[in-house]
Structure 1
Amino acid sequence: MLLGNGNSLSVTVDVEDWYHIPSVCGSTFSVYKDVDDFFDNWEYRYDYLTEPTKRVLDILDEFNVNATFFVVADIAEHYPGLIESIAERGHEIACHGLHHACKIDPKTKQPLMSADEFEKRTIEARNILEKISGQKVTGYRAPNALIGGWMVDSLEKIGFKYDSSVCVNSLYNKTDSTLEGVSTYPYYPVKGSLEMGSKRGIVEYPWAYYEFASFKVPTSGGPMLRFLGAHMMLKGLKQSLKRGNTVFYFHPIDLSYEKFPQIGKGRPMYWAIKGNVVEKRLRYILNKINNENINVSTMSDLE
């Protein structure tokens, strides 16, 4: 049976390494100001990304899934050949920022840079990704899913066709909007906001959730795949597909077998679950997608 009356699930992959998370780099509470500061001062091994990314590519081939990879552009500098390997396997390349820095404050949701600076950095990131991949990059995902309506306006201004950062749920809100009326299916945001509006040049693709008794559990993947498991993710994905096209995501480093360096503030349990456990969960979800004939599309195929 084809779920969702033909609606599609987009499998997406956020390509970033352990030091890109906000407790280490690029936030108001990180150990290092930014990635440049990290590389100026870090004297030890940094690459925990290459091996699990190659394993992810093999897994996606195994299940015949074409995914959208949201790539931090500075990966090009520090991991030669990695972005090329993703593009060569037929996957879509999209933008996950230049250095994975937060653009709005996690607490206040106020901008941490001007719109002009955001546009300048994002254009630079897109140019890097397009040059290396040979693809036209039209999609964006905000680092740490911290997204403001003003950012979507800027993305539209500089030529992006879609954003996929909004996560509606009852536990947290990483946007500068109330998200009233926003669900799990694509919509056009109002100018200057992330509320639902009328047709414009950019589309928002929000993430999946599972709703029961008016409580919305985030089931789009990522950390929730690690903490809540595959069965809850799959329930949310199936429910969201009944509403329309929706999004699942994960990080290659979620599948890493190795222990990451013990630096970073305030998240002692963040990587308590990863590696083989998460790989089994990912395989379970992809197997169910195949066995139940769920439509899978890259983000750009939905434009």
Structure 2
Amino acid sequence: MSPTSNNSLAVTIDIEDWYHIPSVCGSPFSAYKGVEEFYNTWTERYDYLTEPTHRVLNLLNQFNIRATFFVVADVVNRYPGLVKSIVEQGHEIACHGLTHACKIDPATKQPLLSQEQFEIQTLHAKQILEKVSGDKIIGYRAPNALIGGWMIDSLERMGFRYDSSVSVNSLYNKTDSSLSGVSSYPYYPSHGGLEPSTLQRSIVEFPFAYYNLGAKIPTSGGPMLRFLGGRVVYQGIKQCLKRGDSIFYFHPIDISTESFPDVGNKRPFYWIVKGKLVEKRVRYILGKFKDRQTATLGELVKNSI
């Protein structure tokens, strides 16, 4: 899949709450084994997601952008009406897992569940999201962007048309592959791996953006939007758009102005930067690209295969 001179920016939003992050739930080092244990023991308020999600929807309306929302499927039942409000405003719904639990170990990159278990859980999440959206779910983003090549093969079998999880950069590798030859524009991944293939297949990878300064700095957004700032992220995406279609992403909880419960292991400063400052950075980036063609990832993949 070669870059063209008319490349699009896809704005993507990850719908997850504060307790979905790996320091709280769903990772080998989390405070809770998973969201079920969290819900069975947590007695205080848990919803810090609804309010900033509605602000994100208003923000996208202001910039006339249709986005792709990667939704953790358990949000549908835990936050009644929230995902429906996203659908009603014309945005694409894609899958961000059933409960946002890690599928590969962050340290070893070895699977944390069998391929069969992964397919059972992901098909269940897909069905939940298809019911609320009234449409086929064709996109997936791995929780915490921890992705294995075997997962791509499973996603293809389940009818997904694209994944958007791979991050190429010089700081870390959240995959089980070398990512040799992967850039920042869409490509067909090899069977059983994440390196580019010369063979066309029915699933496409939309990797994250990076800023190549000799070293590759991750600049698609998310935590890097909070830690690196808007200008670096903007420059990285701008550079990537010269190579091909590119991605900007963030979470509604990134712009939450409330303090989250003090729960979690190993990441004490994870939320030290968020709120109005991050919302200002989001607005800065969207404003910089206001004349750029935008598209949902679903629209891009349907035009490319």
Q: What is the TM-score of this pair, normalised by structure 1?
A: 0.97
Q: Please name the residue that 2:292 is paired with.
A: 294
Paired AA for residue 17 in structure 1: D
2:221 alignment counterpart: 221
- Per-residue CA shift, 1:123-179, capped at 9, x if unaligned? 000100010111211000000000000000000011100000000000000000010
Verify: 1:105 aligned to 2:105, yes or no: yes
In the other structure, the counterpart of 1:202 is 203
Deviates more, 1:127-136 or 1:98-107: 127-136
Note the 1:153-232 alignment, pairs <5 A. Answer: 153-197=153-197, 198-213=199-214, 215-232=215-232
Report how far residue 296 of structure 1 moved.
0.7
Deviation at 1:121, TM superposition (A): 0.5
Q: Deviations over 1:50-79 (max 9, x none)?
A: 000000000000000100000000001110
The Cα RMSD (Å) is 0.9
Partners of 1:221 and 1:135 lie apart in 2 by: 27
- The equivalent residue for 1:140 is 140
- Give the partner amino acid of 2:36: D
1:167 partner letter: S
Q: CA deviation at 1:228?
A: 0.4
Name the counterpart of 1:86. Answer: 86
Task: Provide the secondary structure at the position in 2 that maps to 1:56.
Answer: helix
Counterparts of 2:209 and 2:231, CA distance in 1: 14
Cα distance in 2, alignment partners of residues 110 and 267 from structure 1: 22
Compute the displacement of 1:94 (Å). Answer: 0.1
Q: Which SS does the other structure have where 2:106 is aligned?
A: coil
> 3-state DSSP class of the match of 2:144?
helix
* Residue type of the alignment partner of 1:258: E
Letter in 2 for 1:206: P
- Cα deviation, residue 275, structure 1: 0.3
> Partner letter of residue 95 of structure 1?
C
- 2:152 is aligned to 152
SS of 1:93's partner is strand
Q: Answer yes or no: is 1:264 the counterpart of 2:264.
A: yes
How far apart are 1:297 and its partner, in Å? Answer: 0.6
Percent identical pairs in the alignment equals 64
Deviating above 6 A after TM superposition, structure 1's stretches of 4 or more consecutive aligned residues are none
Q: Which residue of 2 aligns with 1:6?
A: 6
Q: Where does residue 285 of structure 2 map in the other structure?
A: 285
Report the equivalent of 2:122. 122
- Matched AA of 2:110: Q
Give the aligned residue type for 2:230: A
Unaligned runs of 5+ in 2: none
Counterpart for residue 41 of structure 2 = 41
Q: Which amino acid aligns with 1:48?
A: Y
Given the two structures, how large is their TM-score scaled by the length of structure 2? 0.97
Matched residue of 1:125: which SS?
helix
Partner letter of residue 163 of structure 1?
A: D
In structure 2, give the amino acid aligned to 1:202. Answer: I
**Distance of 1:175 and 1:74 partners within structure 2:** 24
CA distance in 1, matches of 2:92, 2:135: 8
Q: CA deviation at 1:201?
A: 1.0
Match of 2:189, SS state, is coil
How many residues align? The count is 298
Q: Quick one: which amino acid aligns to residue 298 of structure 1?
A: T
Q: Distance in 2 between matches of 1:53 and 1:73?
A: 15
**Deviation of 1:295 (Å):** 1.2
